[in-house]
């Protein structure tokens, strides 16, 4: 029961903490989206993980009507020694809209983890594990 209460609290907090217009929540968010910003910064956007600096160059998210999704990210890494390398990352899995809200639960079958987002109108906002928002737009 505590898990359900925690999940509902997280859903309410996530839905209330976004800048998405609450009146435009679609029943079906299937479509192709491009990554517009990371942590409020337009792309290319820098971020640091451990001692490595990443510059997120581009990203795409495809949401299918049958509950599947794929994500592709392109970024440049800069090691502490100054070496640059272009890299891509991908994820894929299933998604579901919980209740009649815009809260979306994602399960990444390639990387074996789950995460959440909020969808509305022509936008999907994902929260990174570091607390940054990834804003995707159609």
Query: What CATH code is carried by the domain that includes residue 49?
Result: 2.40.128
Q: How far apart are CA 129 and CA 38, in angstroms?
A: 13
How many Cβ atoms from other residues are within 10 Å of residue 75's Cβ? 21
pLDDT band with cut points at 50, 70 and 90 for residue 19: very low
pLDDT of residue 88: 93
Give pLDDT tens digits for 48-103.
777 778 899 999 999 888 888 899 999 998 877 878 899 998 888 888 877 656 67
pLDDT of residue 74: 96
Dihedral sign from CA coordinates of 120, 123, 89, 44? negative
| Residue-number span of the structural domain to which 50 is assigned | 2-137
pLDDT of residue 96: 80
Closest CA to 97 of 75, 69, 67, 64: 67
User: Rg of the chain's alpha carbons, rounded to an integer?
Assistant: 16
The number of folded domains in the chain is 1
pLDDT of residue 135: 95
pLDDT of residue 52: 77
Whether the predicted pLDDT of 7 surpasses 90: no
63 in Cβ contact with 82 (< 8 Å): no
Rounded average pLDDT over 34-61: 89
Whether the predicted pLDDT of 122 surpasses 70: yes
pLDDT of residue 121: 72
Q: How far apart are CA 126 and CA 107, in angstroms?
A: 13
Closest CA to 131 of 53, 17, 34, 54: 17
pLDDT band with cut points at 50, 70 and 90 for residue 107: confident
């Amino acid at each position: 029961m505590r898990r359900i209460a925690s999940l509902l609290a997280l859903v309410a907090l996530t839905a209330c903490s976004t800048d998405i217009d609450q009146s435009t929540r679609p029943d079906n968010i299937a479509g192709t989206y491009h990554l517009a910003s990371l942590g409020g910064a337009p792309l290319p956007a820098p971020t640091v993980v451990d001692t490595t600096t990443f510059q997120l160059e581009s990203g795409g998210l495809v949401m299918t009507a049958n509950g599947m999704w794929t994500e592709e990210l392109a970024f440049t890494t800069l090691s502490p020694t100054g070496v640059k390398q272009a890299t891509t990352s991908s994820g894929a899995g299933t998604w579901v809209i919980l209740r009649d809200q815009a809260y979306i639960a994602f399960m990444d079958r390639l990387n074996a983890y789950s995460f959440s987002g909020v969808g509305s109108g022509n936008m999907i906002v994902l929260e990174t594990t570091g607390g940054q928002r990834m804003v995707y737009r159609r």
